[in-house]
Amino acid sequence: MKHEEVRTLLGEWVDGELGAAEAAAVSAHAASCADCGADAARLRRLGAVLFRAAAPADPRATEAFVARVMGRVEADAVSPWERFAGRWLAPGFALALAGLVAAVWLPSADRFDLPLDAQLVADGRGALPSYEGVFEVAP
């Protein structure tokens, strides 16, 4: 195996992720190549140098953590009433509102589908050009 090829496989070799044949080839090269041998040694130390070992779990710290999480879970939770309201009341309210809007808007909207004079006739206000009473102003 060539030097450059071995260099790309050093990490996998150190991690024990190579198959037997490749591992043997890398091992043989690293034993005779000072650069690859030194890099393999550095790779083995890298984790210990960059990462501190995790401290053993302290049961009191864990309990305090559990309490913090559960406090947030409680604050985050949707109550059964809110769930009911969100699922049934809100759509019901929206439906009722839509019905109300339709009841108020649609009869007058229908009129706009007719020619203007026909609308006035329908309103009982006579044909064009009399616009009297179309725009009523409250006294």
Partner 1 sequence: MGEPRDEDLARRAAGGDDAAFAELVRRHAPRVRALCEATLGGPAEADDAAQETFLKAHRSLGRFDGRSAFATWLHRIAVNHCLDVLRAASRRRSESLDALLEADGAALGLALSEESPAKALEARDTAERLLARLNPEQRLALTLRETEGLSYEEIADAMSCSLDSVKARLRRARAELLEAARHFSDVRDV
72 binds partner 1 (CB under 8 A): yes
87 binds partner 1 (CB under 8 A): no
Question: Residues 30, 63: contact at Cβ < 8 Å?
Answer: no
Structure-block tokens of residue 70: 């559960």
Per CB under 8 A, the segment of 39-47, 89-97, 114-122, 125-133 that binds partner 1 is 39-47
47 binds partner 1 (CB under 8 A): yes
Handedness of CA 81, 83, 86, 89 (dihedral sign): negative
Task: Work out the angle between the directed axes of helices 20-32 and 3-14 (0-180°, nearest 10).
Answer: 110
Helix, strand, or coil (residue 12): helix
74 binds partner 1 (CB under 8 A): yes
Report how far residue 69's alpha carbon sits from residue 76's, in angstroms, rounded to the nearest whole number. Answer: 10
69 binds partner 1 (CB under 8 A): yes
Q: Minimal distance in Å, beta carbon 73 to partner 1?
A: 5
Q: Minimal distance in Å, beta carbon 81 to partner 1?
A: 14
Return the number of the residue (74 or 136) whose C-beta is nearest partner 1. 74
Report how far residue 38's alpha carbon sits from residue 122's, in angstroms, rounded to the nearest whole number. Answer: 98
Binding residues vs partner 1 (CB under 8 A): 8, 11-12, 15, 17, 39, 41-54, 57, 62-63, 65-66, 68-70, 72-74, 76
